Chain A
Amino acid sequence: MATTSSEMSRPGQPGVEEFQRPVRSLWSDAWGRLRRNKLAMIGLFYIFFLSLVAIAAPVLAPHSPARPIGAELRERGAYRQAAWVESNNEKKTGLWTYPLGTDSGGGDVLSRLIYGTRVSLVVGFIPMIFTLLIGVTMGLVSGYAGGALDSWMMRFTDVVFALPDILFFIIVQTAFGKTTFGRTFNGLLLIFVSFSVVSWAGVARLVRGQVLSLKEKEFVEAAHAVGVKNNKILTRHILPNTLAPIIVAAAFIVPGAIVTEAVLSFLGIGIQPNTSPTNPFPTSWGQMIFEGKSGIDSQPWILISSAIAIASITIAFVALGDGLRDALDPRN
């Protein structure tokens, strides 16, 4: 019967002291198990590395991610090949100044790839937080309250499950893409919200299941018996015990959100362009795939580099998620 560290700071709570030792060892054991999982640690390290790249993009990128005009554009050329590719056209032949070549508007592919890291990370983490907030709240309330409320909420999750999610994203993008709401943060907000609206249901069911079983446990009954209020039981006793599966779920939501952004951008309905040189999110990997696919015959490296970037970040998150699950589930 584990409770969490949040309770350890309150030793005065009834029924807590005797559980202190197993508590500490659960989390530190988990960390120990995670550390021994090579794949997960590589994933974690790679995510950490990408976060640094995202923050330090202006320092790392060899050029501005913006597309040039005039003389600079003529010098760079559109669809210049990657550095190691020779072309009979001197304007298209690869140069080490532009290691991965240039795109259809003369943008430096490597610089844009570096800046694209930002969108992927933001688009992965923020919807994950939204999703957890909605899903955990719904699951807790539904599972704890039970009865008619529970059954209505579960019917509602049925509806959400039946919505074909990619279709839903596309329809939402088409419906709200041009409104002020749809344009906030280059359209990122709309992606966050529509993703969360579809994916909370899974979390809610997971949490509800946990709550249903926890509700019957002795420590909850004990808390009831000594007169602890419902909301306190929920936040102090039940929620902390559902944390482990929530953390695992979170690790899998992130790559899901990243892929969603990429798919939407691939269909041409992802983030909005913003040409301001100070804009921190000039492009995304999904958008580079979208543009790269149409330029595949003239400059294949736009597509190849951005596809590899997406593939590697999702592998990293899934490896980490697997590691977390193994680490947090003592049965394995």
Chain B
Amino acid sequence: MIGFLIRRILAVIPVLFVVAFITFFLMKQAKGGPFDQEKEVNPATVKTLNARFGLDKPTWINTTAVSRASDQGVANPLTLTRAFLDSQFGNYIINAVQGDLGPTYSSKGTENVQDVIKRKFPISLRLGLLAAALAVLVGLPLGILGALKQNTIFDYISLIVATIGTSVPTFVTGLLLTLFLSRVFGVKPIKPIDAWDGYSTAYIAPACILGLNTMAYITRLTRSSMLEVKRQDYIRTARAKGMGDRVVITRHMLRNSMIPVVTILGPAVAGLVTGSFIIENIFRVPGIGDEFVGSIGSRDYSMIMGATLFFALLVALGNLTVDVVYGFLDPRIRSKS
């Protein structure tokens, strides 16, 4: 079990490296730099700023540094390798491994990416967790009800909710909801300053919208797995033994039909936590997603790289939990990999 876990965790590292490489490559294709202002900035100033952020180094590998070092008689292979990697990408990876994602450009270097993540991510995390909680708390009962009362009005309601919930994009529902709330209920828009600092009512509307897709998915999943379990022999046996409806449902059906739902929760939570940019944008939630969209517009390379890596890590961890939970539940998978 431990070996399996370690292997799966180690496999995340090359994935993150490739993600970093791809993102870095793509960002380098974009022409505008962080210091391209609408108003002219003096070239000497730009040069100083570029040097401060290491943007004067070559992009991938630094061959001039190597030849300079070897001209100076440096033979230590470690020093030479470090010189070879004294590039924008090399330095980035080396610092990132040490937990330093570099200064953000938009703060003019006054703040590091990891600090921004530390500050803004809790808001996105809270939003994502609330959305996940909502998805489970509403999705599960709805799915169970639908399966137990198959082909009744409850079933149809749960089916319609599930279909609309999975198919209508959240940004459309979000936009329509905000329009509706302000036009029909005249909701007061300015929130108290600390609205986002802890769990508060401010999160409810965005969390509902964000959780809608997942909720609908859980409803569908619960319903179909309940129906599947309902047909199993052991349920029939239990009933044949004269067990009451309530006992059969709680002891046998619920417990077993829950398993597929549990397995999707890891990636679902990761998806909710990382996938909230549009919702954050629409509801003006000052979380990491909104920050990220802004950083792409302002070509804040270090913020883009840092956020992408961080999100990739979360998604990879979410996928990892599925494997682990599966491995936990089903010994065959563990032994196979």
Which residues of A does B touch, CB under 8 Å?
Answer: 39, 155, 158-159, 161-164, 166-167, 170-172, 174-176, 178, 255, 259, 262-263, 266-267, 289, 293, 296, 300, 303-304, 307, 310-311, 314-315, 317-319, 322
* A331 to B288 alpha-carbon distance, docked (Å): 44
Task: Please give the distance in Å from B317's CB to the nearest CB on chain A.
Answer: 10
In the complex, whether B14 has a CB less than 8 A from a CB of chain A is yes
A-chain residues with CB within 8 Å of residue B28 when the two chains form the complex: 175
Interface residues of B in 1-47 (CB under 8 A from A): 11, 14-16, 18-19, 22-23, 26-31
CA distance A319 to B164 in the complex (A): 9
Q: Which residues of B contact A259 (CB under 8 A)?
A: 169
**What residues on B are CB-neighbors of A178 within 8 Å?**
31
B250: interface (CB < 8 Å): no
- Residues of chain B lying within 8 A (CB to CB) of residue A164: 274-275, 308, 311-312, 315
Q: Is the interface of A mostly helix, strand, loop or mixed?
A: helix
**B residues near A266, Cβ cutoff 8 Å:** 171, 278
- Asked if B176 is at the interface of the complex by the 8 Å CB criterion, the answer is yes
The 8 Å CB contact of B292, one of A167, A174, A304, is: A167
B62 within 8 A of A: no
Complex Cα–Cα for A161 and B164 (A): 25
Q: Does B296 contact A (CB under 8 A)?
A: yes
Nearest 9 CB-CB pairings of A with B = A318-B167, A175-B29, A164-B311, A259-B169, A311-B168, A175-B26, A314-B167, A162-B312, A315-B167
* Cβ A322 vs Cβ B175 within 8 A: no
Q: Which residues of A contact B168 (CB under 8 A)?
A: 310-311, 314-315
State A159–B15 Cα separation when bound (angstroms).
Answer: 5
Of B167, B277, B315, which is within 8 A of A317 by CB?
Answer: B167
CA distance A162 to B27 in the complex (A): 18
Between-chain CB contacts (< 8 Å), 19 pairs: A158-B15, A161-B316, A162-B15, A162-B315, A162-B319, A163-B19, A164-B275, A164-B311, A171-B23, A171-B26, A171-B27, A178-B31, A255-B167, A263-B278, A289-B175, A310-B172, A311-B173, A314-B169, A319-B163
Task: Tell me whether B275 and A171 are in contact (CB under 8 A).
Answer: no
> In the complex, A135→B225 CA distance in Å?
28
Contacts of B312 on A, CB cut-off 8 Å? Answer: 162-164
Whether the pair B172, A175 counts as a contact (CB closer than 8 A) is no
Interface membership of chain B positions 174-197, coded 1 if the CB is closer than 8 angstroms to chain A and 0 otherwise: 011001000100000000000000
Q: Tell me which residues across on chain B come within 8 A of A310, comparing CB atoms.
A: 168-169, 172
Cβ contact within 8 Å between B172 and A304: no
CB distance from A299 to the nearest CB of B (A): 12
With the chains together, A185 CA to B9 CA distance in Å? 43
Interface presence of B293 (CB below 8 A):
yes
- Residues of A close to B176: CB separation below 8 A: 304, 307
User: Are B175 and A307 touching (Cβ within 8 A)?
Assistant: yes
Residue in B closest to A321 when the chains form the complex, CB atoms: B167
Residues of A within 8 A of B164 (CB): 315
Minimum CB–CB distance from A224 to chain B (whole Å) comes to 24
In the complex, residue of chain B having the shortest beta-carbon distance to the beta carbon of A306: B172
Which residues of A lie under 8 Å from residue B263 when comparing CB positions?
Answer: none
Inter-subunit contact B22/A163 (CB<8 Å): yes
Complex CA–CA separation, A170 to B168 (angstroms): 21
Instruction: Report the count of interface residues on B (CB-CB < 8 A).
Output: 43
- Asked whether B31 lies within 8 Å of A296 as measured between CB atoms, the reply is no
A311 to chain B, nearest CB (A): 4
Q: Contacts A162-B315, A266-B278, A267-B293; is A167 near B308 (CB within 8 Å)?
A: yes
In the complex, which residues of chain B have a beta carbon less than 8 angstroms from the beta carbon of A159?
15, 18-19, 22
Is the pair A296, B308 in contact by a Cβ cutoff of 8 Å? no
Q: Tell me if B166 is interfacial: C-beta within 8 Å of chain A.
A: yes
Write out the residue numbers on chain B whose beta carbons fall within 8 Å of the beta carbon of A289. Answer: 171-172, 175
Chain A residues, CB < 8 A from B14: 155
Q: Measured between C-beta atoms, what is the minimum distance from A289 to chain B in Å? A: 7
Question: B208 — which chain A residues lie within 8 A by C-beta?
Answer: none
B179 to chain A: which residues have CB within 8 Å? 296, 300, 303-304
Which residues of the partner chain A approach B15 to less than 8 Å between Cβ atoms? Answer: 155, 158-159, 162
Q: Are B169 and A318 in contact (CB under 8 A)?
A: no
State in angstroms the CA–CA spacing of A319 and B163 once bound together: 7
Q: Separation in Å of the A322 CB from the closest CB of chain B? A: 7
How many whole Å from B268's CB to the nearest CB in chain A? Answer: 14
Q: B157 CB to closest chain A CB, in angstroms?
A: 14
Shortest CB-to-CB span from B248 to chain A, Å, is: 22
B293 and A262 form a contact (CB under 8 A): no
Nearest Cβ distance between residue B101 and chain A, in whole angstroms? 15
B304 on interface, CB distance cutoff 8 Å? yes
For A167, the closest partner residue in chain B by CB is: B308
**Alpha-carbon distance A29/B175, docked complex (angstroms):** 42
- Residues from 150 to 175 in B contacting A, C-beta threshold 8 Å: 163-164, 166-169, 171-173, 175
Q: How far is the CA of A304 from the CA of B176 in the complex (A)?
A: 7
Contact call B16/A162, Cβ cutoff below 8 A: yes
Minimum CB–CB distance from A109 to chain B (whole Å) comes to: 16
Residue of B28, B166, B169, B175 with highest tally of chain A CB at under 10 A: B169
Q: Which residues of chain A have C-beta atoms less than 8 A from B277's C-beta?
A: 166-167
For A158, what are the chain B residues with a Cβ–Cβ distance below 8 Å?
11, 15, 316, 319
Given contacts A163-B22, A267-B293, 5 further A-B contacts (CB under 8 A): A163-B19, A175-B27, A267-B281, A289-B172, A317-B167
Q: Which residues of B contact A162 (CB under 8 A)?
A: 15-16, 19, 312, 315-316, 319
Q: Are A263 and B166 in contact (CB under 8 A)?
A: no
Residue of A nearest to B14 (CB): A155
Least Cβ–Cβ distance between A73 and chain B, in angstroms: 27
Which of B163, B166, B167, B316 has most A Cβ within 10 Å?
B167
